Amino acid sequence: MANAKKKSVFFCSECGFESPKWLGQCPACHQWDTFAEAPVSKRMSGTVKGIFPGNTHSTPARLNEVKADEEERIVTGIGELDRVLGGGIVSGSLILVGGDPGIGKSTLLLQMCRILSENEHKILYVSGEESPKQIKMRAERLGDFSSNLYILCETDLVTVTEVITDMKPEIVIIDSIQTMYSEDAGQAPGSASQIREATGRFMKLAKNLPVSIFIVGHVTKEGVVAGPRLLEHMVDTVLYFEGDGVASYRFLRGVKNRFGSTNEIGVFEMRQNGLEEVLNPSGYMLQGKPENEPGSVVTCSIEGTRPILVEVQALVCQTNFNMPRRTAAGTDYNRVNLLMAVIEKRLGIRLGGYDAYINVAGGMRISEPALDLGIVAAIISSYQNQAFDSKTVCFGEIGLVGEVRAVNLSEQRVMEAAKLGFERCIMPRANFQKLNVSKNALNGMRLSGVSSIYELLEVI
Ligand code: TYD
Ligand code: MG
């Protein structure tokens, strides 16, 4: 029994990679110095083995005999949240809500609790970060609360699980997973082994009771506490709350969902009295857009299933350095470099002596290739110091030889642009030829199909 001597195991606090010995660099995520030790005997509770109720003998069942009713869902009443969850909270699911500290995770969940508790759902909000008084102060900004919402300020994992088991609420919020502490798991609160231990226990509780559990996880820039990425594989649903620190927009993005489609986004605005849903994100994203200024181009991205118009800005100016500076905010830096190389080679525009700053306005991060045409148009517009028509939208993917390639869901993009009153839409020719949009929906908008970036130059 050589194994009996083995007392600890090591795993990466970034991605959860497990190893029998300490490693300087993680072979999975290539981060340095992220390995932490955890006692091996406690490991099992950190995994999801044996969590499914009524499955004690582990005998295989015939799939065609398994009964699967439509999942029961609790609709939260916050439309943008329901959309990202795939139509509401599935009973017995474990949901991770990640995001930077201060982005609004606690606020969003407390708002959800407010609506649900008013609809006669029994809810427990466990906070390891704030006192009941602090929670109350926040709650007062959000409105009146019903008596079905219970608050527990506690960080001890055993106590928290006992309270949940006794009380049997329908929904539990754990705010945050980094504050939960169990003596069994060794190490400090927030360490990788503590987080795994706590998540494993909540997973068991969620499936056994059943109760739906929301886990708040702070995204940490570096080190001391482990980040929520570590738990992504253990939970049913992963939502990230993002936005730039300055603007008041907040985007709730689904990156994993066992009960719905991923990549849906919900859009919110942080107000004085909590988060407000943004029902027309395109209009919202284009607020304050400059008219007829060089370097500003509107393009259309598809986020999940819905089209959103965004403004791409470029500033191209002569460099004072040996190496020109390039930055890309809100989009992929390497993609921008590639597009600049395509412009240089295919259009013969010498960008080598120019700095270029690209920004997707509004704090949204978009990596969809359909943005390419907008980025290229913005760069050229800024380089030539000529405004791009502010009533024109353009979208399309650009290939390495300067061809404009078709993108998916072009009808939705065109209709969104028409709905917001744009007068012209420049799009890939392949999409243009197959487009199936009624004259009515076009609302008088003209369409231009282009098949290369030379043609883009011709039509603008
Ligand atoms: P919070 O939900 O505490 O963030 P997290 O839980 O993700 O750390 O959000 C805190 C921020 O939101 C804080 O800077 C104050 C702001 N806020 C408002 O602007 N309006 C409000 O109604 C509330 C409750 C908070
Ligand atoms: Mg919080």
Residue 43: the pLDDT is: 45
Residue 279: the pLDDT is: 87
Whole-number Cα distances in Å, 56 to 53, 324, 409: 7, 64, 46
Chain centroid, CA 170 distance in Å: 25
Residue 392: the pLDDT is: 96
Q: Which two tokens stand for residue 423?
A: 């007068």
Rounded CA separation 327/336 (Å) = 8
**Which ligand is located closest to the Cα atom of residue 250?**
1
- Mutational test site, ligand 1, from 100, 106, 107, 175, max ligand atoms within 8 Å of CB: 107
Residue 166: the pLDDT is: 95
Report pTM. Answer: 0.79
Pocket lining: 138 vs ligand 1, CB cutoff 6 Å: yes
Does the structure show a pLDDT above 60 at 165?
yes
Rounded to 5 degrees, φ, ψ at 340 are -65, -35
The residue nearest atom 1 of ligand 1, judged by CA position, is 104
Q: Across-strand partners of 174?
A: 126, 215
Pocket lining: 274 vs ligand 1, CB cutoff 6 Å: yes
Residue 45: the pLDDT is: 46
73 within 8 A of 88, measured Cβ to Cβ: yes
Answer with the residue of higher pLDDT: 31 or 53: 31
Does the structure show a pLDDT above 90 at 6?
no
Q: Which two tokens stand for residue 357?
A: 């700053």
Pocket lining: 272 vs ligand 1, CB cutoff 6 Å: yes
Rounded CA separation 218/113 (Å) = 20
SS3 category, 206: helix
Rounded CA separation 21/26 (Å) = 11
Residue 263: the pLDDT is: 74
What's the pLDDT tens digit per position in 260-319? 877 788 999 999 999 999 988 898 888 888 988 999 999 999 987 789 999 999 999 999
Rounded CA separation 311/297 (Å) = 6
* Strands in 52-128 per DSSP E: 73-74, 89-90, 94-99, 123-127
Residue 20: the pLDDT is: 86
Rounded to 5 degrees, φ, ψ at 254 are -90, 120
**Type of residue numbered 411:** E
Q: Read off the DSSP letter of residue 26.
A: -
Residue 82: the pLDDT is: 93
Pocket lining: 99 vs ligand 1, CB cutoff 6 Å: yes
Residue found by looking up tokens 């660099």 in the block: 25
56, exposed or middle or buried, with CB in 10 Å at 0-12, 13-18, 19+?
exposed
Rounded CA separation 268/238 (Å) = 18
The pLDDT of 324-333, averaged and rounded, is 92
Rounded CA separation 104/107 (Å) = 5
Q: Which residues of 294-318 are buried (b: 16+ CB within 10 A; e: fewer)?
A: bbbbbbbbbbeebbbbbbbbbbbee
SS3 category, 276: strand
Pocket lining: 105 vs ligand 1, CB cutoff 6 Å: yes
Residues 6+ apart with CB under 8 A from 60: none
Rounded CA separation 291/289 (Å) = 6
The residue nearest atom 15 of ligand 1, judged by CA position, is 102
SS3 category, 428: strand
Query: Closest ligand 1 atom to the C-alpha of 110?
Result: 2
Residue found by looking up tokens 């907008």 in the block: 374
Q: Across-strand partners of 217?
A: 98
Lowest-confidence segment of 2-16, 83-97, 274-288, 438-452 by average pLDDT? 2-16
Query: Closest ligand 1 atom to the C-alpha of 176?
Result: 6
Q: Which two tokens stand for residue 176?
A: 């945050």
Lowest-confidence segment of 3-17, 43-57, 209-223 by average pLDDT? 43-57
Proportion of the chain above pLDDT 70, given as a percent = 92
What's the pLDDT tens digit per position in 96-151? 999 988 899 999 999 999 999 998 899 999 999 999 999 999 999 998 888 999 99
Instruction: Calculate how far, in angstroms, residue 454's C-alpha sits from the geometric centre of ligand 1.
Output: 48
Helical ranges in 68-122 per DSSP H: 79-85, 105-118
**Which ligand is located closest to the Cα atom of residue 245?**
1
Does the structure show a pLDDT above 70 at 50?
no
Q: Which candidate, 391, 383, 387, places its Cα nearest to that of 344? A: 383
**Type of residue numbered 455:** E
Query: Closest ligand 1 atom to the C-alpha of 241?
Result: 7
Answer with the residue of higher pLDDT: 340 or 62: 340
Residue 127: the pLDDT is: 95
The residue nearest atom 18 of ligand 1, judged by CA position, is 272
Rounded CA separation 457/460 (Å) = 6
Residues 6+ apart with CB under 8 A from 16: 192, 196, 229, 230, 231, 233
pLDDT band at residue 322, thresholds of 50, 70 and 90?
confident
Does the structure show a pLDDT above 70 at 222?
no
Rounded to 5 degrees, φ, ψ at 198 are -65, -45
Does the structure show a pLDDT above 70 at 177?
yes
Rounded CA separation 227/358 (Å) = 29
Query: Closest ligand 1 atom to the C-alpha of 248?
Result: 19
